[in-house]
Amino acid sequence: MKELVLSESADKFIKRLSKLSEKKQMNLTTSHPWDEPYNEKAWLKRKENLSIYGTKYYDLATEEELIRLAKYETGGWWAAFITFENLVTEYYMKLINHQALAQFPTVVEYMHHFCKEEIVHSMVFRKAMEHFKIEPAEVSEFIKDFYQDNASMEEFPLKAIYLTIIIEWFAENNAMLDLQNDFVSPLACAVAIEHNKEETRHIAWGKRMVSELCHQVPGFMQEAREFTPGFLRGLVDTIFGNIDILEKVNFSNPAFQDIEEFFETVLFSENKKRIDKEIMTPIFEFFVEIGIYHPDYRAYWEESRFDYIIDDILEKQKVATV
């Protein structure tokens, strides 16, 4: 492989991210209002983002069940974050120890901050789960396996960096959208907001790495064009399609017994389409900009039912350039 090059401006940008990480860091004991009394009735996400919102199931659930659903859907993400952030830390530290990124000392320096931040994040999520007495739901295999399947030590690990940022970016958009409401617990809001401050830097770093190197690493673009839509569909449906959460909430109305119909309804609802669009639009704009979305690969976006979001972005661009 030809020697990879990071531009001078990218180098400066990454140095600045390291400086910001040094300046302000999340603290496990002082960054959140942990003294918030435990309240069984606390809402952990906005109602409009519940998987069953806008479907017949919403009206069939009791208020207590809706609160429990909000708790387990948010807790499902917290548990997924813990698994994912532990994996990222382990994998990135391995890369550093294997000298896999030694050609970019600025990147290695930033990755140390990155890993340290992820260690604190996963401790915060664990503490939040204990605070709200959330038994972790089963984390999907999809999240657990992805470094095993997609990361190697031999080649330049751009694919792993890419997958990491799209997971982080998607998860952050999702978390920030979930808390937009006054009645959501202030502690749950702080967990998301404080996390978002540091993740914004992780995402900025990953975006920069991908846009600088995507055309330099052989085969990367073609592979990314093929797997990205399906990968994101799996990700965005993770919590809405989680049977473990459904069992934990334990809805009393018999209509919830027909699991197949339930998932068919919530995964294809109009509200789900709205949520997917709000979460994905900024990410897809980046894909269009750097060419991960390419018209020749449109079938993959149609198959993953993301074409309506892409079309909207392309339409807006057309209007902007006229």
The rounded distance, in Å, linking the Cα atoms of 111 and 15 is: 11
Q: Which is nearer to Fe ion, 113 or 248 (CB)?
A: 113
The rounded distance, in Å, linking the Cα atoms of 123 and 129 is: 10
Contact between 45 and 177 under an 8 Å Cβ cutoff? The reply is: no
The rounded distance, in Å, linking the Cα atoms of 253 and 183 is: 26
Binding mask 165-184 for Fe ion (x = CB under 5 A): ---x----------------
Residues near Fe ion (CB under 5 A), total: 5
The rounded distance, in Å, linking the Cα atoms of 216 and 1 is: 9
In whole angstroms, how close is the CB of 137 to Fe ion at the nearest point?
A: 19
The rounded distance, in Å, linking the Cα atoms of 297 and 216 is: 20
**By CB under 5 A, is residue 71 in contact with Fe ion?**
no
Binding part of the chain for Fe ion, among 22-30, 72-80, 114-122, 182-190 by CB under 5 A, reads: 114-122
Contact between 111 and 123 under an 8 Å Cβ cutoff? The reply is: no
**Binding residues for Fe ion restricted to 74-103, rule: CB under 5 A:** 85
Binding part of the chain for Fe ion, among 198-206, 221-229, 230-238, 285-293 by CB under 5 A, reads: 198-206
**By CB under 5 A, is residue 202 in contact with Fe ion?**
yes
**By CB under 5 A, is residue 207 in contact with Fe ion?**
no
Binding part of the chain for Fe ion, among 126-134, 147-155, 160-168, 224-232 by CB under 5 A, reads: 160-168
3-state secondary structure 239-255: CCCCHHHHHHHCCCCHH
Q: From 100, 110, 73, select the one nearest 206 (Cα to Cα).
A: 110
Q: Indicate which single residue of 32, 45, 121, 248 sits in contact with Fe ion (rule: CB under 5 A).
A: 121
Q: Which is nearer to Fe ion, 123 or 314 (CB)?
A: 123
In whole angstroms, how close is the CB of 195 to Fe ion at the nearest point?
A: 6
Binding site for Fe ion (CB under 5 A): 85, 121, 168, 199, 202
